[in-house]
Structure 1
Amino acid sequence: MSSTASTAPPIPSTLMVRERLLLWSLAAINFTHIVDFMVMMPLGPQLTKLFHVSDAEFGLLVSAYSLAAGLSGLLVSMVIDRFERKRALLLVYAGFAVATLACGLAPSYGALLAARVAAGVFGGVLGALVQTIVGDAVPFERRGQAMGLVMSAFSMSTVAGVPLSLWMASRWGWHMPFFAITAASLVVLVAAWRSVPLLRGHMTGVSAQPPITQLKRVLAEPNHWRAFALSMLMLSGSFSIIPYITIYTTSNVGLSQEQVPYVYFAGGVATLFTARLWGRLTDRWGKVLMFRVISVLAVLPMLALTHLPVVALPVLLLVTTAFFVFVSGRMVPGMALLTAAPEPSVRGSFMSVNGALQSAAMGVSAWVGGLMISRTPEGLVQGYGRAGWLALVTTLIMVWWVGRLRLHTQSAPARG
């Protein structure tokens, strides 16, 4: 396997325009479902007071989405490659919009919980479908830039989506963010209908098989398991750190609650630019090389953040911003590599299973991170540094492990 970037002939301008419109539509889909997931967490104070529920019951609202996303990804993996990609994307995205509208209309805690499960079912499949379409529609030599653009949606959700949603909630109530996401989803749905091409090349021979056969094909391939292991390693170290950043920095580093938005705003603005930079460098220097370089660089802010003493705000923002830039940055070449691990005929199923395993990895890692920390009698967090060392170990393993992947770098399947 070569880690060097491949050369390609000049690309016609009309093709580049169509490809850009496709990628911006996919990024917008990513943006809406990421904001839908993220906005629940800061709405906690309003919802616990309104519905008279405990913190644990509110936590179920958050975790129900991830659990539903993981389970739906696993189930859908058996049939997703039997459908043309554009039709599947539009149907799933329409279901997501309806589920999000149900969240805003929910009159009780039970109704909201059911709506969050439904949103997770569709949202989990959406993430895998977006990545699959990038893999199908964009040649391998340009896939790093494509992933960088599509994944910049996470930065936009941090910088604009969540703060705007919280402003709406404070002004018009907790329902309004979900209504706004639904309205935005309808606009994006039309844009996707116009810009996403028909992708049928993966369907040859798939519809004649029993649904379980496709899942068996995915799980029987050793190279897929190497890719799944890499995917889970990418998330294991970082998600033992991320859920506790606010707790640690406000308890141990001197950050006030009013200053917390600065951390995410600075990180979001920086990654908005660096995600696309990593994409260009990934295609120019090679995906394996860039994955290794960014992963090693990410260790520095992970260790610094988890061992940080009381520091001035500019120093803290420098560390946290570097954390977001490099930790999220390694996902750009990482996901470009993962889309090339399966053959096109099983790419949708593979990415659905991968999404389910990623959800599990995030949940387990967050739980392990919580076990590592405790509170002193003074209220300070202790043991957070262990999460940093765990991140170092997982990084060293995956930097070696990525060289074991076998890649399928053929161009996109035929359209019709």
Structure 2
Amino acid sequence: MKDKVIFSPYQYTIIALLALTQFTVVLDFMVMSPLGDVLMKSMHIAPAQFGLVVSAYAFSAGLSGLLTAGFADRFDRKKLLLFFYGGFILGTLSCGFAHTYPLLVAARIITGLFGGVIGSISMAIVADLFVITQRGRVMGYMQMGFGASQVLGIPIGLYLANLWGWESPFFMIVGIALIIMLMLAVKLQPITAHLAWQHDKSAFIHLLHTIRKKNYRIGFAATALLSLGGFMMMPFGSAFAINNLHITSHQLPLLFMITGVATLFVMPIAGRLSDRMDKFRLFAFSSLFMLIVIVYYTHLGPHPVWYIMFLNILMMAGIMGRMIPATTLVTAVPEMQDRGAFMSINSSLQQIAGGIAAAFAGLIVVQKDEFSPLQHYDIVGWIIVGITMIALVMIFRVNQLVKVAAPPSAATTPDDPLAVKAS
């Protein structure tokens, strides 16, 4: 019987901690979409200005990733995670106290400087502690933070926003994050095995060595392309639902919750499929399925709320079905001594690409007044089609690199001492 790789008890702990961390970081970012309509009305800002609020986080996160990439492999990953998570908490707190448009932009910049690096540190930890045949499931569980943010975080945040103002969701995130940070400090063991592999004399040289590797640049390009589509649609999701699809502000939390519940079921399935079948095939099928739904959705007019929920579930299934295998493949590209730097640069380019996409979408989408339908949202859908087709080509190249570097039959590697095998 073929050997089966299972998780150790400590690995289960790591998965839970990283998933909880991702939950708060994703919630902080995702909550901007449902709050978009409220913020545009309360601060009297146009879609282009709100796109800048979203882009401010993305651009600062991208800059932070580049600045920290050279240092990412020179410190204990636990200490790095705690440092940046603490900064993220302070940035989120400042968002809650920002009562003007310039202050909100500044607060999002601070949050992005710290929050944007957390995902890359988490990915480096996953690559250090889990073999490639485990990572699909790990990614699926970690991405459950995305679904949980929609099931619990966003609906509760919107409910609090309706009661006490749009600032209250940020205070809620701070409270949850403080508890998770304490758990990380107590439960997470130091992660230092990569330090023995460091040979570069300076952080800058290490950064240059990472960028110069052709295979790494292919992975960077693939990740950047994957970010463009989601960032183009996301900022105006709630405004489109309310003003074009005629979803009420009271129905909006339910829409996010139902979509999130479905996502919680989809992501573990996608993770298991990613570990059991060809990752590129899963990515390609999910991408094509997603595009069909997106093109239809962005051309949609007023419909019953249950129909909008159904379409959102299908769209999220396509998005998660492609993100999990793609992310799993990209984590297999870097060598152990470069993982921190690779993940930081990768996350940086992802955020920068997303910031450009959000700002660009803000220039495409227009609204005559605060209560009129959004215009040109369908153009955004067609642009996503073109970007996704290019991303298919890039992920195919990443898939070829991974197959050459590590044959599919390999179950463990010397870099993964915590892997447990059971026949």
For the aligned pair, the TM-score class normalised by the smaller chain equals 0.7 to 0.9
Q: Given the alignment, which residue of 324, 334, 341 partners 2:326?
A: 334
- Indicate how the Cα distance of structure 1 residues 414 and 356 shifts in structure 2: closer, same or farther if over 3 A, else same: same
Q: Note closer, same or farther for the CA distance 1:41–1:376 as it changes in structure 2 (3 Å cut).
A: closer
Corresponding position of 1:3: none
Q: Equivalent residue of 2:256, what SS?
A: helix
Instruction: Indicate yes or no: 2:124 matched with 1:124.
Output: no
| CA distances 1:115-159 after superposition (whole Å, capped 9, x unpaired) | 433222110111111111111111100100000100110111122
Pairing partner for 2:335 from 325, 343, 346: 343
Provide structure 2 residue ranges, at least 5 long, that are not aligned to the other structure: 407-412, 419-423
Q: Which one of the candidate residues 366, 374, 385 is aligned to 1:392? A: 385
Shift of 1:235: 2.2
Q: TM-score, normalised by structure 2?
A: 0.84
Verify the 8 A CA contact 1:267 1:325 in the aligned structure 2. Answer: no
Q: Which amino acid aligns with 1:400?
A: V
How far apart are the structure 1 equivalents of 2:238 and 2:33?
Answer: 12
Q: Is the 8 A contact 2:51 2:359 kept in 1?
A: no
The alpha carbon displacement at 1:413 in A equals 4.9
- Distance of 1:387 and 1:321 partners within structure 2: 20
Residue 79 of structure 1: SS of its match in structure 2? coil
**Which stretch has the larger CA shift, 82-91 or 207-216?**
207-216
Q: Which residue of 1 aligns with 2:79?
A: 87
Alpha-carbon separation, structure 2, partners of 1:240 and 1:40:
13
Structure 1 pair 245–174 and aligned structure 2 pair: CA distance change class (3 A): closer
The residue matched to 1:29 in structure 2 has which SS? helix
Deviation at 1:226, TM superposition (A): 1.2
- Paired positions, count: 405
* CA–CA distance in structure 2, aligned partners of residues 49 and 373 of structure 1: 16
For the 8 Å contact 2:293–2:311, the answer to whether it is kept is yes
Question: Do the aligned residues in 2 keep the contact of 1:82 with 1:207 (CA within 8 Å)?
Answer: no
Deviates more, 1:180-189 or 1:101-110: 101-110
Which residue of 8, 12, 28 maps to 1:36?
Answer: 28
Distance 1:143 1:227 in 2: 17
Aligned residue for 2:8, secondary structure, equals helix
- For each residue in 1:294-326, what CA deviation from the matched residue of structure 2 results, as whole angstroms up to 9, or x when unmatched? 122212211211222443333332222211121
Residue equivalent to 1:401: 394
Contact 2:282–2:321 (Cα < 8 Å) also in 1: no
Structure 2: which amino acid aligns with 1:237?
Answer: G
Query: How much identity, in percent, do the aligned residues show?
Result: 34
1:44, 1:304 → 2: CA distance? 22
Q: Residue in 2 aligned with 1:213? A: 205
**What is the rounded CA distance, in whole Å, between the counterparts of 1:212 and 1:332 in structure 2?**
31
Aligned to 2:62: 70
Report the residue type matching 1:301 in the other structure: V
Letter in 2 for 1:196: L
- Preserved contact between residue 266 and residue 320 of structure 2 (Cα < 8 Å): no
Does structure 1 conserve the Cα–Cα contact (< 8 Å) formed by 2:54 and 2:358? Answer: no
Partner of 2:233: 241
Between the two structures, name the one with larger relative contact order (CA 8 Å, sep ≥ 6): 2
Gaps of 5+ in 1: 1-6
Q: CA RMSD in A?
A: 3.1
Report what 2:128 is aligned to.
136
Aligned to 1:357: 349
